[in-house]
Amino acid sequence: MSANPPNFQEQIKARFSEGLAAHFNDGYDDWLKWCDVLYEPNAHYNVYGKRMTLQEYKSAMKALMTKYDIQIGEVKNMLVVGEWGAIRYVVHITDRATGAKIEQNTMEFVQWKENPELIGARVVEGWALSDSPLSET
């Protein structure tokens, strides 16, 4: 007898954790592949108050990950209730041109969609803020 699939809230926690730990720190190409798993095709992401389509978000992340080495650090808090999740974590950032380093504290608030088991929990829309916003320029 097979184990029951994790409930929706556990799926969300696993996606948060897996995405941060395994797919963000290995560069843009790995993150881009992870997007097909993590996001609904019509998802939106709001970064520093700007609402973007998934393609706009991918383009913005490519620009940021080209300019900066971005490494996710410690997860400070995670809360999941219903279809909503919030996560607070540390990001270690190095400017590739200057070598300047900063530690960024980031908070994301995300609405998720429950899908059949093979697809699982995926992001419908997210909001991200940090104490040290990055610029593509």
Please state whether the predicted TM-score (pTM) of the whole model is above 0.95: no
The domain spanning residue 106 has which CATH number? 3.10.450.50
Q: Which helix (H) or strand (E) holds 71?
A: strand 68-81
- Residue 15: what residue type? R
pLDDT digits (tens, 9 = 90+) for 101-133: 999 999 999 999 999 988 999 999 999 999 998
Are 41 and 119 a contacting pair, CB within 8 Å? no
Q: Which domain holds residue 87?
A: 8-130
Averaged pLDDT, 39-68: 96
Structure letter (DSSP) for residue 4 = P
Query: Is 1 part of any domain?
Result: no
Answer yes or no: is 135 within a domain. no
Is 104 domain-assigned? yes
Residue 59 has pLDDT above 60, yes or no: yes
Of 77, 71, 39, nearest to 57 (Cα)?
39
